[in-house]
Structure 1
């Protein structure tokens, strides 16, 4: 921190802000600039005022102190402009005028300054005789070092956000949405892993950001200088507790990848096995925990703002971010993801994950087999390649709709072709879908197949984490009808964007202020990436056929599940409880009183209605899936026959 600027009107309360700024500047040996703006309608000797203020600056800061006095009709704006001219790292102001009559008389000067300034602003509490800044730095306190680091980090964050976020106004130009999105991505990349991860999470929240921002944030990249070979070896030996030569024959000094959390190198074990090692950056944990501390402070403040809470639950977002990053900091979690994905892919002989060396894997070190393959688009033309494409598509439906565990970043760069198989790499980012959400996503797909906009709208409401406020069902249904009309009618993978379908469904829900699970948008995004990979392997693959066959097999499994009388009785008991809950929900939604008359109409075949009576909810869903799958296959076959 090089320069601290403090605004003063030479009043007693302003003296407290000046004293706090002087203490801050002394702590960091920064230059202290006292700033005074005088209204231009008075008879004031400007030179005399500046001389007096300069003496005060030298008195409290010595050679590091100086003063600037200006005459201006709009003091708050003048303070902002002068702070920028002076290159302020921190601008300190008192809180006079933030409450009571002065808030209206002065137009809330501190808030205006805080809103418009392009650097970090500290508002010091000077109105009650206490000098209480936004971030306190107390002498002799065990937390002084931590608080100082937080303040220093907050200052850097403010500078970067100001440089990217307010550059448009400074340059006097109007930027496109795409350009603003690009600047946001660049700022997040500079801010490091915590904010890069925040950008990734925001990009999966439908309706929160414009489409251009979501697309740009998908390209977030780590931009850090690589660790030296000595730093890599030091971490490895700390984790292994032995000299690296006892385990490895050699380590390639050139990194395969260098990120803000980890760095990846090729290596060879003593027994000759070729492996890749992922080493955690020594400073990653400390840097991430520091940023999480700042975000938690922000989340506490944001939680008190109802308008912002309605748009997005900031405390929940911060908690999700914290959990995600803490998991990424423990490489044993990624190792667990690899083994779990191996189980998920077991039915598919054309898909695999690298072998894991569990005995060499720790919290900060991950060792796995080197996949010596080629990008999937460079795989040799063969029947194995086409079959792998089919398996990849089906496996993703299985991951999301059956197992509830999926690779959340399956872009072609994370897939390699080797020994007639597609290998999944980088299992650090995975998604999980709880059972209820799996069923509802499946219902979304079936409603789309049946071109049932009304049911799509109903399922969207069931997906909501919270009761949606005053949803216009007619408008929601109309949006889905338009959506179906645009997407239906084409059956080839190249023409139907399945991931885009799910993402747009989420966008429609968000436009109607329906809060949806993040897993829905994340799975839609992953489907979109997977589809690009599948198209690279086999552009002519018929997606409808693959999905239909998968659904039919799933129906068979569900029907076998309920064939046992004991299981059927158990499902019937669950149905009784769930119907009770359903009726309670309907009463809440419709305002119906308990005991009132309610008419329920079943729309569909008599067979389905009979199934409801005979077997309960699970068999009904199985029958619905069968009907939907058959309808899908029939419609696809009909379209194929016309071509």
Structure 2
């Protein structure tokens, strides 16, 4: 080799060897964390550049292709990186209601079964945690997983029989964390922070305000000891409800085989609701009874006890015959990794918000929005009820059915961005739990729709909101947020009447006004629910009539509310919303 080429060749060889060494170290000792980080940051830079360069008025006719291209790039990163990135992508898919339609259609694949890891890797995790192999710990251990998710997979096993002899041990579900998750998690969360920071700066949208809260719950979700404690607390709260404890069951934890990366719980023979619709339900279970149990369960968590399961997708809900009466059904709730603990203040305010929405009490809605740092009361109401709500006449850019030019479409998307940016006036005041509570409600709404909307979900939720306010009539008065009751109403004792009759008369009139207002408020609320029930049953009757006499399908009640939301959205922005975006 000529001398002049020797030095560059050596330099290239050193660079190649260094790159190969770094790659090997990253892959075999860091679970490819560096590679995944580079892939993510590269994609982020390309996405920012793509939108900055191509989201322009003179390129409005190519905006749809731009959204498709960016959504596909994000999906590719999530699928190639796997692990927590699957959860990140699912979060994007869940909130695709505020994103262009292209995101929804592309991101749906992230809800499919996640890749499995080999039994050898599962064996290593169990040996590391318990000092013995699965075959030594259990009587039998199925090597093929029954379910695989983004961070863990589940195997069926059987406990060993008691040393005293007797029957074989019970069957259990062993949830094992995929070994790369522990190494990747902090890398991934740090990269997520950097990506969100970059996107927030690039597009002038509030994105980072809830990041710390979400990251804390992600860390809790991958700690299986925390999940086991969540399951037991949820079970103890469930036991306090005499109705729900008969129709809902939470599997018992086997603590001797539970640690931060392995959780062992009672095995339940049941049918997942993932691919089960109303026509496929077993004869012991009617759709209305099933959905009433499910909606009541989560409404009770949201409005009464404040400990909320935030991942109630159909795969985490099983159906089985009731062990005590096979002619009845029982709902089994699994996967307790993601819960939020509502503060009592937020829970009460949320109950008050639901009450105010049904009473059209704009003053109370405005007060709650101010307390939460929300600048758009109508949007908050729509997100709460998951149906359109407006306290004013629509002022849309275009009328329904108008032809939309490409330039107008561009301007509409800018208007949507502006409304999203202005939704929160003070991000520090907004209750972060609302994000996860909304996730729960959206998934339950989607399940009710999939079952044909056999119940009026909104009514069930509203009744639990009323229950969450408690028996104190002050919560139903117009002064429920004030201190009038204790501070100004004074003393109604006999001595007060004798010494201060005029003041006591004023106090008595205050009490009378309070009694009247609170009862009127309560019964107006109940009348609103009754009117909604009438609407629901009239729609069900019309739906049945169309199906049996005209062989024509009419959308179920959830679909009707979705269509109404789409029309309201179009009136506000002139932009036709794809109602499939509301699917969880």
Question: TM-score if structure 1 supplies the norm length?
Answer: 0.56
d(CA) in 2 for partners of 1:321, 1:552: 29
Cα distance 1:224–1:163, how it changes in 2: closer, same or farther (>3 A)? Answer: farther
Which of 27, 37, 40 is the aligned partner of 1:154?
37
1:328 and 2:224 correspond: no
How far did 1:422 drift?
0.9
Cα distance 1:164–1:572, how it changes in 2: closer, same or farther (>3 A)? Answer: closer
d(CA) in 2 for partners of 1:180, 1:510: 20
Q: CA offsets, 1:325-370, max 9 Å, x none?
A: 3223311111112112212332211111222112211011111122
2:132 paired residue number: 242
d(CA) in 2 for partners of 1:398, 1:438: 11
Aligned residues of 1:446 and 1:628 also touching (Cα < 8 A): no
1:444 and 2:350 correspond: no
1:268 paired residue number: 158
d(CA) in 2 for partners of 1:512, 1:608: 45
d(CA) in 2 for partners of 1:282, 1:641: 51
2:491 paired residue number: none
d(CA) in 1 for partners of 2:393, 2:238: 33
2:337 paired residue number: 428
Cα distance 1:327–1:613, how it changes in 2: closer, same or farther (>3 A)? Answer: same
Aligned residues of 1:189 and 1:221 also touching (Cα < 8 A): no
1:460 and 2:369 correspond: yes
Secondary structure of 1:522's aligned partner: helix
Cα distance 1:507–1:434, how it changes in 2: closer, same or farther (>3 A)? Answer: farther
d(CA) in 2 for partners of 1:464, 1:323: 22
> Which ranges in structure 1 are unaligned for 5 or more consecutive residues?
1-53, 67-89, 91-136, 138-144, 487-505, 563-570, 578-605
1:630 and 2:513 correspond: no
How far did 1:483 drift?
9.1
Q: CA offsets, 1:383-407, max 9 Å, x none?
A: 6764342222122221112222222
Of the structure 1 ranges 350-359 and 154-163, higher mean CA displacement relative to structure 2 is found in: 154-163
1:193 and 2:83 correspond: yes
Larger RCO, structure (CA 8 Å, separation 6 or more): 2
Q: CA offsets, 1:147-202, max 9 Å, x none?
A: 998755433334555788889999x9861635643442332232233433334455
1:233 paired residue number: 123
Q: Which has the higher helix share?
A: 2
Which of 1 and 2 has greater Rg? 1
How far did 1:311 drift?
2.4
1:526 paired residue number: 440
2:234 paired residue number: 341
1:390 paired residue number: 292
1:127 paired residue number: none
Aligned residues of 2:351 and 2:469 also touching (Cα < 8 A): no
Secondary structure of 1:480's aligned partner: coil
How far did 1:290 drift?
2.4
Secondary structure of 2:7's aligned partner: helix
Cα distance 1:280–1:611, how it changes in 2: closer, same or farther (>3 A)? Answer: farther
Q: CA offsets, 1:398-418, max 9 Å, x none?
A: 111222222212122221111
1:64 and 2:12 correspond: yes
Aligned residues of 2:348 and 2:469 also touching (Cα < 8 A): no
2:385 paired residue number: none
Cα distance 1:211–1:339, how it changes in 2: closer, same or farther (>3 A)? Answer: farther
Cα distance 1:383–1:266, how it changes in 2: closer, same or farther (>3 A)? Answer: closer
Aligned residues of 1:206 and 1:507 also touching (Cα < 8 A): no
Matched residue pairs, number? Answer: 447
1:409 and 2:299 correspond: no
How far did 1:252 drift?
1.3
2:205 paired residue number: 311
d(CA) in 1 for partners of 2:508, 2:104: 42
1:292 and 2:185 correspond: no
d(CA) in 1 for partners of 2:377, 2:287: 47
1:370 and 2:267 correspond: yes
d(CA) in 1 for partners of 2:199, 2:47: 22
d(CA) in 2 for partners of 1:350, 1:607: 48
Aligned residues of 1:268 and 1:275 also touching (Cα < 8 A): yes
Cα distance 1:484–1:165, how it changes in 2: closer, same or farther (>3 A)? Answer: closer
1:351 paired residue number: 248
d(CA) in 2 for partners of 1:512, 1:252: 53
> Which ranges in structure 2 are unaligned for 5 or more consecutive residues?
23-27, 162-168, 322-328, 383-387, 397-415, 477-481, 489-505, 542-584
Question: TM-score if structure 2 supplies the norm length?
Answer: 0.61
